[in-house]
Structure 1
């Protein structure tokens, strides 16, 4: 096991449901300095674990463990933190309670403060649903978080984003004949269709038109869809996926009790220096949505990743996109804050 467990105990979720013996899986890189002011929080995205975040961590990278103490908390529902697959009855599988982005960040706050005694966070950074968590940290703890850098992630699930996730959910519901009583019969084979639904959204029209999948070693579109999208989704448990989809569909930083769904107020309350990096061709976490959000954050820079890799411009695959993200993060970390 290459990660650690932080026991949360019995927690009451935002929904009011109590989840017993909850826990966060996390991994750290580097060392916390004596001042405890070199911490970076780097939450995981939908379907990812800490391993998928490691492309951005390393000597000479933006998240350099020689300089920073990097904490990567795993999203609830991802199979490592409390999830449908590792929670005993009566909250196992399809009975796992609804977990929000707010819940995730509340538990991460407990990890950061109770386990490490950290009171200032130099940066919260993340891709996709990790990016939503970065926004949430900035809104929930404005005096604690000095910088945020969401890339290919929005501050709430806008209506079209909701529908994209709903299409992924619908393919699993169809496998269960839209009968919630049959959800526990789902298997990883039912995830094949989810991968095919997502294939048209994760990358841009131009990516497919220019056949960039050939650069990844796939000789045809059919091979690419089977080899990447079907394969990656079939490695995920359908119950974990349904739990994470619910979290994603209902993400909204203003669902924090402090803002009572006043989205503009939540954005305006973020004090952190913000570098917001959408993929310029992202089809469902769009640059337009991020531009709206950035205008309402007092200290935000809007800096799109000019790429035809769509949502996956932030995934750590394409070297030009990676360099853009790394350079912007390095620049952001050199900026002084008033904190």
Structure 2
């Protein structure tokens, strides 16, 4: 069941604030008496707490009969406080910059409210991985294990440039009007999705026709599908989350910088970059794992590109993730 956690006027690390802030979440299962059987699933770009449902249930990655599963929505995703769902003071183009750290601080307040004393595992795909790293660095004594999938501990320069490209496609629509649009900037939203489609999958995905396995009849249907999906999004919400992504850096607020933050992570980590991911490449994860106290690099072997590991896409990738989950929870 989806619920709202009221944060009041929530102060941001930037010094700004979110008035009447709400963090929206879903729970599955029951918290044990020790408050120690929590699984946290932070949402990802254009995803919601419900997007993790393919991982939750009997026989799936996380069984509610055993675990207290909390799936939480990012600020800006249109479910938690967002440009499209905000106090009039910060609605639309007036929405302030929100960092990954802000999301994690708010989530920490939520879990404290729910009675959680220990997090057995934080598993997150894409932007969910950014949050998993931030959690482990900011609250090392609370987190037993993390499973970052197709993500990283910070947004790399190349990743930043990719995001600038999709953003530029949206901003070029004159209907956008610097975020003060009267009607949705449909042309810009579709252009955003079209550009994104070329980055979301690998070259092999298109070369080998793997798109047919995901229900696309042709390359053009991939393009049209992504354009149509993004046409349904709120433009300011997309840009708010995109900014959160671009500013991501686990060392941004740590006195020891990036290396110090990574070195302070005590949680057991299995890091699963997509083997053909174009914007969270395996090479970045290799360098990050070297900085962890107890980290293992375990590439997610797939030709799906970045989409490898997204909940509910394909069993071949889910099986690899399941093996890592079982190992982390067993230990």
TM-score bracket, shorter-length normalisation: over 0.9
Q: Within the alignment, does 1:58 sit opposite 2:54 as a pair?
A: no
SS at match of 1:53: helix
Cα distance in 1 for residues equivalent to 2:108 and 2:217: 46
Task: Write out per-residue CA displacement over residues 18-47 of structure 1, whole angstroms, 9 at most, x where no aligned residue.
Answer: 211101000001110111110011100011
Question: Number of paired residues?
Answer: 329
Structure 2 Cα separation of the partners of residues 176 and 90 of structure 1: 25
Give matches, 1:200-211, under 5 Å. 200-211=198-209
Q: Quote the offset at 1:230 in angstroms.
A: 1.1
Distance change >3 Å, CA 197–CA 4, structure 1 → 2: same
Instruction: Identify unmatched segments of 5+ residues in structure 2.
Output: none
Distance (Å, rounded) in 2 between the aligned partners of 1:197 and 1:186: 22
Q: Could you give the per-residue CA deviations for residues 80-107 of structure 1, whole angstroms, max 9, x where no partner exists?
A: 1000001132211111011000000000
Q: Residue 296 of structure 1: SS of its match in structure 2?
A: coil
TM-score when normalising by structure 2: 0.96
Say whether 1:266 aligns with 2:264.
Answer: no
Gaps of 5+ in 1: none
For the structure 1 residues 305 and 314, does the alpha-carbon distance in structure 2 shift closer, same or farther, using more than 3 Å as the test? same
Residue in 1 aligned with 2:153?
A: 155
The aligned counterpart of 1:324 is 320
- Distance in 2 (CA, whole Å) between partners of 1:295 and 1:194 is 35
Normalising to structure 1: TM-score of the pair? 0.94
- What residue is the counterpart of 1:10 in the other structure? 9
Correspondence for 1:170: 168
* Corresponding residue of 2:210: 212
Q: Secondary structure at the match of 2:124?
A: strand
Q: Which residue of 1 aligns with 2:230?
A: 233
After superposition, residues 1-339 of structure 1 pair within 5 angstroms as 2-113=1-112, 115-176=113-174, 180=178, 183-185=180-182, 187=184, 189=186, 190-227=188-225, 229-256=226-253, 259-260=254-255, 262-316=257-311, 317-335=313-331
SS at match of 2:20: strand
Contact kept? 2:175, 2:181, Cα under 8 Å = no
The CA RMSD measured in Å over matched residues stands at 1.5
101 and 33 in structure 1: CA distance in 2 versus 1, 3 angstrom threshold? same
